[in-house]
């Protein structure tokens, strides 16, 4: 059974209107039949098999933590491998059937849907994309115009002063820009974080500039427009990105919010101007969940539904993931108090229902 959602991560977040108190409730068991199944499985250690998980480096810590607690609490006879080469790289393995689950920080693309195995798409959490600079950088809050001026297709080899000038041309009023060059240290094309950043921050602005005749967009090898500067080497490891920005006074980049939170004071996470309220908003559990932080997205796991019937361990693992493994895996992937934004009860119920339907 294929299940594809087309709403953007930010619009989904904006529609929620939830408060922090719901986040805790969202992590509890929904009380449906999958919860009963997971509880029953905890009493048995006879489940065995092999599960292969790949995809998003942002979702990887969730799957890794769920793997650990599954092996501890359900069965240590199930061999589970978890890799995080990036969402796009993961789909290239998942769609031919080489893996059982693809972790994803974006929805599957139409081109990826072609010749893909039957699957169910399960939303599992929210994550904001944190934009970061070195702690010595004087910037505190930037707008989407600023982000475009720093990282868009017009910005190759730009200095901070040139980015400032372009941002002003686009309507930004941000002050306190640094001097010198800009060193982009950010995810590459294999990362869903890379694709989500382009979709949320750059794509619309670049298309409008092209329609106005201000720029001529380049195309990639597939003939698709390129909406981002290409003069930087993308990094597949979020921790390498953080380390690079921490050591470079001119560093600028982005990673998933949970990774930035775990970095502490090693980098400066910038606030982003909310164009609707005019307020500078920092990424947090609350602002990502209620949609006030402008650079946010949904996180998913894609499960090969053909393999559910042939691999009982796969069904057992996903049952556990969505129930007893959910709180520790989603909220506390990096330790108590630092994690992803859990789904509110109504959205979690939709995920649970999608999984129950996929198993029929």
What is the chain's alpha carbon radius of gyration, rounded to the nearest angstrom? 21
Lowest mean pLDDT among 17-21, 197-201, 231-235: 17-21
Tens of pLDDT, residues 90-130: 999 999 999 999 999 889 999 999 999 999 999 999 888 99
Looking at residue 175, its pLDDT comes to 94
Instruction: Check: CB of residue 273 under 8 Å from CB of residue 143.
Output: yes
Looking at residue 333, its pLDDT comes to 66
Which comes out higher in pLDDT, residue 22 or 182?
A: 182
Lowest mean pLDDT among 114-128, 326-340, 343-357: 326-340
Lowest mean pLDDT among 29-38, 186-195, 334-343: 29-38
Looking at residue 222, its pLDDT comes to 79
Which comes out higher in pLDDT, residue 58 or 281?
A: 281
Tokens of 272: 């982003």
**Average pLDDT value for residue range 29-34:** 40
Instruction: Name all domains of the chain by residue range, CATH numbers in brackets.
Output: 9-127+299-358 (3.40.190.10), 129-296 (3.40.190.10)
Looking at residue 300, its pLDDT comes to 96
User: Is residue 86 predicted with pLDDT exceeding 90?
Assistant: no
Tens of pLDDT, residues 158-200: 999 999 999 999 999 999 999 999 999 999 988 888 988 998 9
The pTM score is: 0.70
Looking at residue 162, its pLDDT comes to 97
């Amino acid at each position: 059974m294929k299940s594809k959602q087309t709403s953007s991560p930010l619009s989904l977040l904006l529609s929620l209107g939830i408060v922090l108190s719901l986040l805790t409730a969202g992590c509890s068991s929904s009380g449906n039949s999958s919860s009963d199944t997971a509880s029953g499985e905890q009493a048995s250690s006879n489940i065995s098999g092999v599960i292969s998980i790949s995809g998003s480096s942002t979702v990887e810590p969730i799957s890794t933590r769920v793997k650990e607690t599954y092996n501890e609490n359900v069965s240590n006879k199930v061999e589970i491998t978890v890799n995080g080469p990036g969402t796009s790289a993961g789909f290239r393995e998942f769609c031919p059937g080489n893996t059982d689950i693809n972790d994803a920080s974006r929805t599957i693309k139409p081109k990826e849907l072609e010749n893909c195995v039957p699957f169910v798409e399960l939303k599992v959490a929210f994550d904001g994309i944190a934009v970061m600079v070195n702690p010595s950088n004087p910037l505190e809050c930037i707008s989407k115009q600023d982000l475009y001026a720093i990282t868009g297709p017009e910005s190759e080899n730009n200095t901070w002063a040139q980015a400032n000038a372009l941002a002003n041309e686009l309507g930004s009023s941000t002050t306190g820009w640094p001097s010198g060059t800009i060193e982009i240290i950010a995810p590459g094309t294999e990362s869903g974080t890379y694709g989500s950043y382009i979709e949320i921050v750059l794509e619309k602005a670049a298309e409008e500039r092209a329609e106005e005749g201000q720029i001529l967009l380049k195309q990639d090898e597939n003939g698709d427009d390129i909406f981002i500067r290409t003069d930087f080497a993308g990094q597949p490891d979020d921790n390498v990105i953080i380390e690079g920005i921490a050591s470079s006074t001119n560093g600028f980049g982005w990673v998933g919010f949970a990774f930035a939170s775990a970095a502490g004071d090693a980098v400066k996470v910038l606030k982003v101007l909310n164009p609707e309220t005019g307020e500078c908003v920092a990424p947090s559990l609350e602002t990502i969940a209620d949609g006030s932080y402008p650079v946010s997205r949904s996180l998913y796991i894609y499960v090969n539904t053909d393999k559910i019937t042939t691999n009982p361990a796969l069904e057992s693992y996903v049952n556990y993931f969505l129930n007893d493994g959910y709180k520790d895996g989603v909220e506390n992937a990096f330790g108590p108090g630092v994690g992803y934004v859990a789904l509110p009860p109504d959205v979690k119920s939709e995920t649970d229902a999608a999984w129950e339907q996929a198993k029929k």
